[in-house]
């Protein structure tokens, strides 16, 4: 079964005997079966060379690197295996056409809002007033005439959504406001860490399709970022990341001891905290539902790939895009 592998220790990744070994600084060797690895996430100080990269490329394995504090640093991606000039041309055309871009941008926000409301409706006795306000805001999407206006609506909705966390989560975790760069409290640290995992997972699924990850619709394309992964991740963050944060806090599986502080301002998950979050993350990605169209069990991870395929069908004018809205 294909899975992601996470490296927290310091050491060296090395190809040997047609497989990969992780050699820790103390000399211990751990084999990593390449046939079962989808992505490698490197959190420790790890050395590797081009011989390893060439070998991993044969198995379409991506490497994602994070710094000491767990913030994303960069990725290595093998050469694209399924390029399609037709897809990229049409993907670009939908960005250049204002109305086509507006349709897709609004669709991503609608999918995100559906899952936000799904989360807080589970606590409807405490969050009914937030639901009403969010439903009122989402109606304004149909009156938006620019991407900036759509982003404004999305920002107000997300602010209300995060405010509801104080009525959902157990103390002592309190949400004051969303702070990303850098996170300044444990809740923001968990959300930022989880969102990074979501962006990398979405990017890995985009890589396995003909889509260009730099051409996006809700987020403005720019240099040095894969903005399409930000677009698609909007739909999946409240479906994947936020329920993990709520569950870990309310079940008291994570506490203040799982966070470290840098100069009393920047907060980040320590190694034990990251491992707890990643275990919950991998468990959620493996969950499956009976897909209404495919008529078979489909994992949450594969739902991301299906979202990419739906976007491809839309840009080549095969089928109108409809964002995922969890029905289960």
Binding site members for Mn(2+):
154, 219, 234
> Can you tell me whether residue 185 is helix, strand or coil?
coil
End-to-end CA distance of the chain: give it in Å, rounded.
Answer: 25
The answer for residues whose C-beta is within 8 angstroms of residue 216's C-beta and 6 or more apart is 95, 227, 228, 230, 231
**Phi/psi-derived region of residue 286, left when phi > 0, alpha when psi is between -120 and 50, beta in every other case:** alpha
Is residue 279 exposed (0-12), middle (13-18) or buried (19+ Cβ within 10 Å)?
A: middle
With CA atoms as reference, report the closest residue to 43 among 15, 11, 14: 11
With CA atoms as reference, report the closest residue to 60 among 33, 87, 35: 35
- Chain centroid to CA 128: 27
Pairing of β 29-32 and β 19-24: antiparallel
Is residue 40 exposed (0-12), middle (13-18) or buried (19+ Cβ within 10 Å)?
A: buried
Residues contributing to the annotated binding site: 154, 219, 234
């Amino acid at each position: 079964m294909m899975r992601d592998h996470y490296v927290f220790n310091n050491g060296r990744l090395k190809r040997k005997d047609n497989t990969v070994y992780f050699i820790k600084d103390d000399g211990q060797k751990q084999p990593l079966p390449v046939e079962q690895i989808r992505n490698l996430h490197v959190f420790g100080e790890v050395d590797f060379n081009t011989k390893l990269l060439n070998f991993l490329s044969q198995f379409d394995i991506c490497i994602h690197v994070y710094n000491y504090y767990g913030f994303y640093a960069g990725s290595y991606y093998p050469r694209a295996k399924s390029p399609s000039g037709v897809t990229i041309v049409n993907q670009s055309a939908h960005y250049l056409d204002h109305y086509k871009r507006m349709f897709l941008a609004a669709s991503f926000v609608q999918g995100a809002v559906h899952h936000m409301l799904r989360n807080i409706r589970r606590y409807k006795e405490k969050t009914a007033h937030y639901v009403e306000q969010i439903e009122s805001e989402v109606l304004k999407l149909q009156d938006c005439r620019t991407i900036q206006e759509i982003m404004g609506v999305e920002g107000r909705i997300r602010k209300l959504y995060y405010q509801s966390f104080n009525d959902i989560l157990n103390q002592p975790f309190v949400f004051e406001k969303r702070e990303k760069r850098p996170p300044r409290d444990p809740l923001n640290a968990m959300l930022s860490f989880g969102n990074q995992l979501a962006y990398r997972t979405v990017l890995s699924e985009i890589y396995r399709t003909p889509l260009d990850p730099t051409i996006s619709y809700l987020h403005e394309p720019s240099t040095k970022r894969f903005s399409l992964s930000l677009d698609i991740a909007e739909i999946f963050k409240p479906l994947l990341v936020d329920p993990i944060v709520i569950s870990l806090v309310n079940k008291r599986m994570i506490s203040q001891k799982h966070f470290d502080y840098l100069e009393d301002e920047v907060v980040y998950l320590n190694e034990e905290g990251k491992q707890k979050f990643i275990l919950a993350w991998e468990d959620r990605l493996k969950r499956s539902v009976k897909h209404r169209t495919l008529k078979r069990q489909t994992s949450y991870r594969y739902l991301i790939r299906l979202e990419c395929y739906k976007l491809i069908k839309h840009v080549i004018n095969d089928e109108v895009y409809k964002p995922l809205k969890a029905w289960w």
